[in-house]
Structure 1
Amino acid sequence: MNATPTEIVLHQKSNSLEIAFSDGARFNLPAEFLRVYSPSAEVRGHGPGQETLQVGKRKVALTGLEPAGSYALKLEFDDGHDSGLFDWDLFYSLGQNQPTLWQEYLDKLQAAGASRDH
């Protein structure tokens, strides 16, 4: 993927991050979605099968964005999570696959008897 961001907007009212790319794609990614799919080791683990299901993140808010060079952003959430770099390819992939990824997350929550609320 060679598309690069042309616009990045943090929407505080809707609690989402809007990213427009050089190929014309535009994605609106909710904070909860970004939090549960964070690329950090805390969420993804250090290898396959080591992922940690994120629960109780329905009301998590994005509180800040910090550039990481010219290739990524570090996102800061109000639950204290601020590790993991979201590079442009990851944002693009999350945007393209958002409906499928979101359903997978909801299915995992249900299978674990967990909730978006606690």
Structure 2
Amino acid sequence: MSTPELTHVHYRRDARELVLTFGNQPPFTLSAEYLRVHSPSAEVRGHGKGQEVLQTGKQDVGLLNITQTGHYALKLHFDDGHDSGLYTYDYLHELATHQADYWQQYLTRLEQAGESRQAPSIMIKQL
């Protein structure tokens, strides 16, 4: 089955959410964190099975910019400096339609690794 056409993209900066509409389907809302930890880049996915890199501390990540690449993908520019990997419309649709499962799998991997969604804090000693 082919992916419906991506017809609308809107970023809600305050909520750090990307709203995507495909064809006549209801809109999908994906958090910037969800998109960041599921980046299609080699930095996240690795160069083969078993080389994936668990992304941690991305709870507060947002988007600085979105650029269209041809008529098939978006490039997302995150405020943590990450901007590699093209989110094809097919991949965005996959992320949208499998969001609950993929998110739970991510949370399980974080827990198993003893990691957190929160960025590490820096202790400041006041003099």
Structure possessing the higher radius of gyration over alpha carbons: 2
In the alignment, what sits opposite 1:105? 106
Q: Which amino acid aligns with 1:52?
A: V
Displacement, 1:13? 1.3
Q: Secondary structure at the match of 2:19?
A: strand
Q: Which amino acid aligns with 2:49?
A: P
Runs (4+) off by over 2 Å: none
In the alignment, what sits opposite 2:16? 15
In the alignment, what sits opposite 1:78? 79
2: CA distance between counterparts of 1:90 and 1:4? 12
- The aligned length equals 118
Q: Secondary structure at the match of 1:114?
A: coil
1:63-92 Cα distance to aligned partner (Å, 9 max, x none): 110111110000000000000000111111
1:10-43 Cα distance to aligned partner (Å, 9 max, x none): 1101101000011424210000000000000000
Larger deviation, residues 21-30 vs 68-77 = 21-30
Displacement, 1:55? 0.3
The aligned runs of 1:31-110 (5 Å cut-off) are 31-110=32-111
Q: Secondary structure at the match of 1:54?
A: coil
Q: Which amino acid aligns with 1:105?
A: Y
TM-score (normalised: structure 2): 0.90
Where structure 2 has 5 or more consecutive residues not aligned to the other structure, the ranges are: 120-127
Q: Secondary structure at the match of 2:90?
A: helix
Displacement, 1:4? 1.1
Displacement, 1:2? 3.2
TM-score (normalised: structure 1): 0.97
Q: Which amino acid aligns with 2:106?
A: Y
1: CA distance between counterparts of 2:51 and 2:27? 31
Give the conservation status (yes or no) of the 8 Å contact 2:3–2:93.
no
